[in-house]
Structure 1
Amino acid sequence: MNINITLLIILANVIVSLIGFRNTQFMERYLFRTGSILKRKQYDRLLTSGFLHVNFMHLFFNMFTLFFFGSFLEKGSPLPGYMYLVIYFASLLLGNLLALVLNKNNDNYSAVGASGAVSGVLFATIALSPSTKLYLFFALGMPAWIYGVGYMLYTIYGIRSRAGNIGHEAHLGGALAGILIMVAYQPALLRMHPWVILGMTVPALVFLFIAIRYPHWLTFGFLKANSKENYTLDDRYNDRRMAEQEEIDRILDKIGKSGMQSLTDKEIRKLEEYRSRM
């Protein structure tokens, strides 16, 4: 029986994301959040968050990219199916672990999406076939290795500056995982394309060393660019969550001063929703 792994992964993403779109409690329980992972030890979020998405557009672009590059790895390359799965899930987990490390001091940092896994599949493809032409916007063609180096440099810039509406940490971690796993599986790639592989990995590894060794450097870059126009989807989500928490604190203060009977119907519903998520 010939199983299409890529389509199964896409189907799983679609089903889980649709549940998350309709059920906010489900989304809350399984998204990536540093505080819940580190303090409540809900480590399953490192995996489950990779099957949730913010909206249909977020889901579409991730699955669109996965369909093309995943299909190539699965059907058009010598890579066995189990290694394809290793690349996908290792990239997902490493991307989220990197986000966890770089945001460990921000309990409210949250994220969803298969971006880390998809980046891993994309960069495994580039490592395997760096001269393949990529056609961006269906017209502009460029060798895959040029795209890969440029993408890495932009991702590094994005983490430091919080540029764009993108969770760059997962992209960087996933991309590195995809390259390194592919090279570990086929070491000849490093001999065949040494400058391409090094050009994609060395800047990222140097950046990660600096960011982890000197975290204040990363924070400084974030503070300089932390304006509303540079907010990511996660930043906006965190703002909403902080506003909700302030509202809950106000309701609890009201109960402490005047008792439950002082609450309005709206405040009672808000409190019940909050308790159901705990």
Structure 2
Amino acid sequence: MIQQYILQTPVASILFAVTIATSIYAFSNPQLYASMMLHPYSVHRDKRKWYTVFTSGIIHADWGHLLFNMITFYYFGFALESFFVQVSGDIGHLYFALLYILSLVLSDIPTIVQQKNNPGYYSLGASGAISAALFGYILFQPKAMLGIFMIIPMPAYVFAVLYIGYCIWASKNSNDRINHDAHLFGALSGILITILFYPWIFRHFIDQF
């Protein structure tokens, strides 16, 4: 089973394994953990800190955060890489890697801009890139049944509307210490990048209705 994943979806497999391993290791290494978090205040003042845009995407706040993100990635990240390969052949692996990495960066840029003068703000987690993979998947399968918290079933396109709406609301009103902007801009990045790779995907999406 593991060998099959590695052969068919190598990029998703590597991202999955590295994120889990690094997150678990960082849980017990506070110094490393702190050095890997995204700190917009520092990034704005020291361009060498840009590396934390990437490192913050392979660590998580706690076991619950890691588990939720990895379950989501398992269901939608692996599937999206498979879709890309079915459509484009082996270069689909590269497309998936680019979508994930670019979305990780793009999802953090608004946070860096907004929080650049806030020394107390930190961010971490792969949620932006995983949101991108989820929304890329939804473009391919808009009527797939998804669920809120894996419980309430609904078509993917309905989930997408609710997700975007909640992220917009929460980014302005919530005080739960979750980076909702990263979720929102990650999702939008996933849509944009998937359309750039496959301009016909928008028509495919519409034709499903």
**TM-score (ref. length: structure 2):** 0.86
**1:164-214 deviation per Cα after TM superposition (whole angstroms, max 9, x unaligned):** 452101111111110001111111122343599xxxxxxxxxxxxxxxxxx
Corresponding residue for residue 75 of structure 2: 68
CA displacement at 1:19 relative to structure 2: 2.2
Q: Is the 8 A contact 2:140 2:204 kept in 1?
A: no
Query: Match of 1:12?
Result: 18
Q: Which residue of structure 1 aligns with residue 178 of structure 2?
A: 166
Cα distance in 1 between the residues matched to 2:200 and 2:155: 20
Q: Deviations over 1:114-171 (max 9, x none)?
A: 0011001001111222111113455532110110011001000011112545210111
Per-residue Cα deviation, 1:189-242 (whole angstroms, up to 9, x for no partner): 22343599xxxxxxxxxxxxxxxxxxxxxxxxxxxxxxxxxxxxxxxxxxxxxx
Q: Is the 8 A contact 1:34 1:108 kept in 2?
A: no
| 1:157 and 1:163 in contact (8 A); partners too | no
Is contact 2:57–2:124 with CA below 8 Å preserved after alignment? yes
SS in 1 for 2:50: coil
Structure 1 gaps of 5+ residues are: 197-278
Instruction: Give the fraction of aligned pairs with identical amino acids, expressed as a percent.
Output: 32
Q: CA deviation at 1:10?
A: 1.2
What are the within-5 Å matches in structure 2 for residues 44-55 of structure 1? Answer: 44-55=51-62
The count of aligned residue pairs is: 196
CA separation of 1:135 and 1:159: change in aligned 2, threshold 3 A: closer
Q: TM-score, normalised by structure 1?
A: 0.66
Asked if the contact 1:158–1:168 (Cα under 8 Å) also holds between the matched residues in 2, the reply is: yes
The residue type paired with residue 64 of structure 1 is I
Structure 1 residues 40, 165: CA separation in 2 closer, same or farther (over 3 Å shift)?
Answer: closer
Larger radius of gyration: 1
Counterpart-to-counterpart distance in 1, 2:202 and 2:74: 26
SS of equivalent residue, structure 2 residue 154: strand
Q: Which residue of 2 aligns with 1:134?
A: 146
**Would you say the 8 A contact 2:60–2:66 is kept in 1?**
yes
Rounded to whole Å, the distance in 1 between the matches of 2:132 and 2:41 is: 26
Higher relative contact order (CA 8 A, sep 6+): 2
* Aligned-residue CA RMSD (Å): 2.1
2:3 is aligned to none
**SS of the residue 2:21 aligns to:** helix
